[in-house]
Chains A and B, each alone.
Chain A
């Protein structure tokens, strides 16, 4: 059976819930201490595609910070897609995320990505407006409201990204 793998990064501001969002949906191979030591943690996510192939997303969970250092950017090298995570209760993290996107595109060119508006379970504290989401959608950005706590739309985020990466829907 044909096996394909893709390098996928999760980036976003500090404490937007990058790690906790995906951790329930991936194969956790390494402990989180790598994030604080090496600055990156690798997980994998397997998906079956409708054409029969299997896709393994190798997920580079890159330690978040307000601004990427050169080392962190180095981890992005060769990435074929990414999940851009925003804390929906902290509006400023959206701006940071968009800035990150711009920086990545500047350095590595346009890559498929999905923007995750996380912490949707804290909808009372939600600070990102629908208009802003609409505006992003209009730019062609795929935006998903996710919740690490409930798991809402996380799987879908991976599936959407998989389709962007391979051109084939996940089964």
Chain B
């Protein structure tokens, strides 16, 4: 190493090392990458703040990267867009529908009305399409234009307007508005600080909202409610929040406030439609409402009629189903007439009753019914009642296919019932057990009802009432009436029942018949004080009374006899006299003369003298009552 090199080594060793480090850093890619990575975020931020060149430079690469990414992996972008695209579409559809309804409303409301014709003429004069004119007339308010103006320079920062709005040169208007703002402030504000906030020009209102560096002038058609100003202020606040720095430094470059017009556009969405004199607009105009109401009423009437028809048909169907003996195979309604085909038992209720039960009185029923025999229990019962004619107090019921009779019935009817009931359609067997009453119960009932006197014995066997013994005729006569309150008997046997009066009469007849009264020889006189005669007369009197009481006839004859001494003639005469004498005795004792007849006994041709024949005899015969002609 030369001296010079040594000297250089001594003097520049440190710098050499530094140079070496720098060379290594600049030539080694990984080191360079690390270095750039450290400063890149800061460099991008600084460059972006300084001027828009970075954005311009990155625009194309970013666009291409984006396209590449979408091309390679569209799913990721679809997923990312999904939450956004739904609401956007819904909002778009809602807006379209709103516009459509509004258009329909306006057309319906104004196309044929006097007001509509007036507006048509006015729109024609003004050279404005009718729809637009109607919209203007029917708006309570609508924000037509919004200017965002830089206050310092009067330069327009952004401007949006409705499609229908007629706008001047927005930059010129912004500047002029600023000038006027200053002019008004200078002219009318004592301290030149108050700012113009509202201006009314014909049908327009201009609202000016002031931010720190800009003002937002909203040109509004109509009269907006106060609350709208708050909504506009809120939008201005958001603009200031997002673009505050750009607004402060605004020199007229639109790049710095890119997107501000989207925010301004939100102002245009604020609008309200008028509804006649009301500020609250109903969603549907009156004519359309009337049409809709008419359509609705027609639909409601139709629906109600159909419903009623269905209800009626259903009610009738149910009533038919509930009616024994009716079967509907087809049932349909054409609104006025219910058409029915089916089967009907002759004993079933007629259709008018069915309709009455169904409550379909106003509807006619056209029925084509074929006859049949129903096996419905109710119809079987009707058939049984018709055919068996049960006595009062007997009820029929069905137990399965057995016809059951219950109540009081005579044995004869019961026999008929048991034999004829199974012949009735639907009845397989008959049961009359419920029509029987036990003998003991019947006897008890009979005793209670008849109160039989002593000497009368009641008995019931196999439902047959037997009455035996003697009883006064009056009691016997009252028996049928007394049994009316007692359950029916199969039969009543009163053959052994004898009236007590008849018994007494028989006794008298047996005692008096053949009673002999003796006379002296040849005598025909009887002692009137004869006690036997007196006693017999009393018995006869009693006999006549008893016979009359029981409706019998008591024949009394006195037969005269003779002892055979003397001639036949004389004997006969004695016989007659003796019979007459005895009759006179009885008449004298109180017997009516015509109640007693007299007769003489037959004499043999050669009579034998017999002293015991000096007599007269009573002959009594009880005859049944002579029927009254």
* Interface flag for B168 (CB, 8 Å): yes
| Chain B contacts with A in 243-291, Cβ cutoff 8 A | 251-255
Contact present for A78 and B171 (CB under 8 Å): no
Contact present for A42 and B172 (CB under 8 Å): yes
* Interface flag for B180 (CB, 8 Å): yes
- Taking the closest CB of chain B, its distance from the CB of A5, in whole angstroms, is 4
Bound-complex Cα distance A162 to B82 (A): 47
* Interface flag for A160 (CB, 8 Å): no
Task: Look across to chain A and name the residue whose beta carbon is closest to the beta carbon of B177.
Answer: A42
Q: Which residues of B contact A152 (CB under 8 A)?
A: none
Bound-complex Cα distance A83 to B182 (A): 22
Contact present for A4 and B253 (CB under 8 Å): yes
Q: Which residues of A contact B175 (CB under 8 A)?
A: 7, 42, 58, 60
Bound-complex Cα distance A39 to B254 (A): 28
Q: Which size class do B's interface residues fall under?
A: 20 to 34
Bound-complex Cα distance A41 to B183 (A): 12
Considering residues B155, B156, B173, which has the most beta carbons from chain A within 10 angstroms of its beta carbon? B155
* Interface flag for A6 (CB, 8 Å): yes
Contact of A71 among B169, B171, B183, B252 (CB under 8 A): B183
Contact present for A5 and B169 (CB under 8 Å): no
Q: Which residues of B contact A7 (CB under 8 A)?
A: 153-155, 175, 252
Q: Which residues of B contact A77 (CB under 8 A)?
A: 152-153
Q: Which residues of B contact A34 (CB under 8 A)?
A: 176
Contact present for B254 and A29 (CB under 8 Å): no
Q: Which residues of A contact B186 (CB under 8 A)?
A: 71, 74
Contact of B179 among A3, A6, A42 (CB under 8 A): A42
Bound-complex Cα distance A49 to B155 (A): 19
Bound-complex Cα distance A6 to B250 (A): 10
Bound-complex Cα distance A75 to B186 (A): 11
Q: Which residues of B contact A38 (CB under 8 A)?
A: 176, 179-180, 183
Contact present for A56 and B182 (CB under 8 Å): no
Report if A44-B169 is in contact (Cβ < 8 Å); known contacts: A7-B153, A29-B176: yes
Contact present for A58 and B155 (CB under 8 Å): yes
Contact present for B254 and A80 (CB under 8 Å): no
- Taking the closest CB of chain B, its distance from the CB of A113, in whole angstroms, is 16
Bound-complex Cα distance A4 to B150 (A): 13
- Taking the closest CB of chain A, its distance from the CB of B526, in whole angstroms, is 181
* Interface flag for A27 (CB, 8 Å): yes
Contact of B182 among A30, A42, A75 (CB under 8 A): A75
Bound-complex Cα distance A75 to B182 (A): 8
Contact present for B182 and A44 (CB under 8 Å): no
Bound-complex Cα distance A80 to B150 (A): 13
Bound-complex Cα distance A68 to B156 (A): 25
Contact present for B251 and A2 (CB under 8 Å): no
Bound-complex Cα distance A7 to B251 (A): 9
- Taking the closest CB of chain B, its distance from the CB of A15, in whole angstroms, is 21
Contact present for A39 and B176 (CB under 8 Å): no
* Interface flag for A43 (CB, 8 Å): yes
Bound-complex Cα distance A77 to B251 (A): 13
Bound-complex Cα distance A74 to B156 (A): 18
Report if A74-B152 is in contact (Cβ < 8 Å); known contacts: A43-B172, A80-B252: no
* Interface flag for A143 (CB, 8 Å): no
Contact present for A5 and B180 (CB under 8 Å): no
Q: Which residues of A contact B255 (CB under 8 A)?
A: 2
Bound-complex Cα distance A80 to B153 (A): 8
Report if A40-B252 is in contact (Cβ < 8 Å); known contacts: A7-B153, A58-B172: no
- Taking the closest CB of chain A, its distance from the CB of B257, in whole angstroms, is 11
Task: Look across to chain A and name the residue whose beta carbon is closest to the beta carbon of B254.
Answer: A3
Bound-complex Cα distance A74 to B182 (A): 8
| Chain B contacts with A in 129-173, Cβ cutoff 8 A | 150, 152-156, 168-169, 171-173
* Interface flag for A79 (CB, 8 Å): yes
Bound-complex Cα distance A56 to B186 (A): 28
Q: Which residues of A contact B251 (CB under 8 A)?
A: 6, 80
Task: Look across to chain B and name the residue whose beta carbon is closest to the beta carbon of A79.
Answer: B153
Q: Which residues of B contact A39 (CB under 8 A)?
A: 179, 183
Bound-complex Cα distance A137 to B175 (A): 32
- Taking the closest CB of chain B, its distance from the CB of A40, in whole angstroms, is 5
Bound-complex Cα distance A7 to B175 (A): 9
B176-208 near A? 1/0 per residue, CB < 8 Å: 100110110010000000000000000000000
Contact present for B155 and A29 (CB under 8 Å): no
Q: Which residues of B contact A5 (CB under 8 A)?
A: 155-156, 171, 252, 254
Contact present for B183 and A58 (CB under 8 Å): no
Contact present for B254 and A4 (CB under 8 Å): yes
Task: Look across to chain B and name the residue whose beta carbon is closest to the beta carbon of A38.
Answer: B183
Task: Look across to chain B and name the residue whose beta carbon is closest to the beta carbon of A69.
Answer: B186
Contact present for A40 and B153 (CB under 8 Å): no
Bound-complex Cα distance A110 to B155 (A): 20
- Taking the closest CB of chain B, its distance from the CB of A22, in whole angstroms, is 13
Q: Which residues of A contact B155 (CB under 8 A)?
A: 5-7, 58, 78
Q: Which residues of B contact A75 (CB under 8 A)?
A: 179, 182
Bound-complex Cα distance A60 to B177 (A): 12
Bound-complex Cα distance A5 to B250 (A): 10
A31-49 near B? 1/0 per residue, CB < 8 Å: 0001000111111100000
- Taking the closest CB of chain A, its distance from the CB of B20, in whole angstroms, is 44
Task: Look across to chain B and name the residue whose beta carbon is closest to the beta carbon of A62.
Answer: B179
Bound-complex Cα distance A29 to B253 (A): 22
Contact of B173 among A4, A6, A29, A41 (CB under 8 A): A29
- 27 A-B residue pairs with CB within 8 Å: A2-B253, A2-B255, A4-B252, A4-B253, A6-B251, A6-B252, A7-B153, A29-B168, A29-B173, A30-B172, A38-B176, A38-B183, A39-B179, A40-B176, A42-B172, A42-B175, A42-B176, A44-B172, A58-B154, A58-B156, A60-B179, A75-B179, A75-B182, A77-B153, A78-B155, A80-B251, A80-B252
Starting from the known contacts A2-B255, A58-B154, A58-B171, 5 additional A-B residue pairs (CB-CB under 8 Å) come to A6-B252, A39-B179, A78-B152, A79-B153, A80-B153
8 closest residue pairs by CB, A with B: A78-B153, A29-B172, A5-B252, A78-B152, A42-B175, A42-B176, A7-B153, A3-B254
